[in-house]
Amino acid sequence: MALGASWVPLALAVELHMPRGGAPRRMKIRTACGSGRVVEAAARPVATAPGSVSLVLISEESMLLPIEKYGSPVLRTVSAPIKNIDGYVVALAQNMLETMYAAPGVGLAAPQIGVNLRLLTTDVSSGKEPHQRIIIANPEIVEVAGEQNGEEGCLSIPDFSEKVRRPQRIVVKGISLDEKELIIEAEDLLARCFCHEVDHLNGIFFLDHLSAIKRGLITRKLKHLIKDGKW
């Protein structure tokens, strides 16, 4: 979820087109990123459309990842559950946190950096309070109560925001990076943030919660921006 302002990505993303049915392979890639450092980066092909895969580079060192924007098919895809918390997932989560803080945002879902896995990061204190830093795999909203109506933005739809109705309080269940069950009771901004990010894992934008008229106005503007190459 966006907190305002924009940023310049430092990382590389590589797209590799493979024949339909081509077996995904895990590979190590050396890449220059940041201020010219060369780091080892793991890449795992992720299917984004029939007949193609996208390689999203992640690094065991801090690395910012480019954020996918509205119009990218990866953001309309339902993400797959994480089966094992392995080194790739841990590094992915770390890279997501760095990217979220740099954006700056208070929440980020893996599809927003091009990976259709059910993983998200949040920190509604924007890095000021360490206990607010949350990484959760396979999150599920298991209880909702009350209602709030507040302004919401998205790192994948920069410069647009609208009032969105969300539950006031929720309970989220998921898995931590050390494979323990997490049960988080959230309210206010954190509840809104979880709802927004879990939506991303299901291919849903905050725009989808607006009235047809408001949604139509914004999507028409977005289509024009995409068509004019300004997106």
**Residues acting as catalytic residues:** 197
User: If you ran DSSP here, which 8-state letter would residue 64 be given?
Assistant: -
The contacts of residue 216 (CB under 8 Å, 6+ apart) are: none
- Decide whether 44 or 200 has the Cβ nearer to Zn ion: 200
* Piece of 21-29, 57-65, 139-147, 149-157 that binds Zn ion (CB under 5 A): 149-157
Its sign, for the CA torsion 71, 28, 64, 199, is positive
Please report whether residue 41 would count as binding Zn ion according to CB under 5 A: no
Number of other CB atoms surrounding residue 63 within 10 Å: 23
Give φ, ψ of 124 to 5 degrees: -75, -5
- Decide whether 135 or 154 has the Cβ nearer to Zn ion: 154
Tell me the C-alpha distance between 87 and 64, whole Å: 18
Please report whether residue 195 would count as binding Zn ion according to CB under 5 A: no
Minimum Å distance from CB 49 to Zn ion? 21
* Piece of 15-23, 66-74, 147-155, 165-173 that binds Zn ion (CB under 5 A): 147-155
Minimum Å distance from CB 20 to Zn ion? 30
Minimum Å distance from CB 187 to Zn ion? 20
Helix (H, G, I), strand (E, B) or coil at 142: strand
Minimum Å distance from CB 154 to Zn ion? 3
- Decide whether 92 or 120 has the Cβ nearer to Zn ion: 120
- Decide whether 137 or 154 has the Cβ nearer to Zn ion: 154
* Piece of 15-23, 70-78, 151-159, 210-218 that binds Zn ion (CB under 5 A): 151-159
Minimum Å distance from CB 149 to Zn ion? 18
Among candidate residues 140, 143, 196, 132, the one with its CA nearest the CA of residue 171: 143
What is the amino acid identity at position 83? K
Binding mask 153-172 for Zn ion (x = CB under 5 A): -x------------------
Please report whether residue 46 would count as binding Zn ion according to CB under 5 A: no
Bridge partner list, 145: 169
Tell me the C-alpha distance between 78 and 55, whole Å: 18
Residue nearest to Zn ion (CB): 154
What tokens does 66 get?
A: 């480019």
Size of the site for Zn ion (CB under 5 A): 1
The contacts of residue 129 (CB under 8 Å, 6+ apart) are: none
- Decide whether 151 or 178 has the Cβ nearer to Zn ion: 151
Cβ atoms of residues 151 and 163 within 8 Å: yes
Residues that bind Zn ion (CB under 5 A): 154
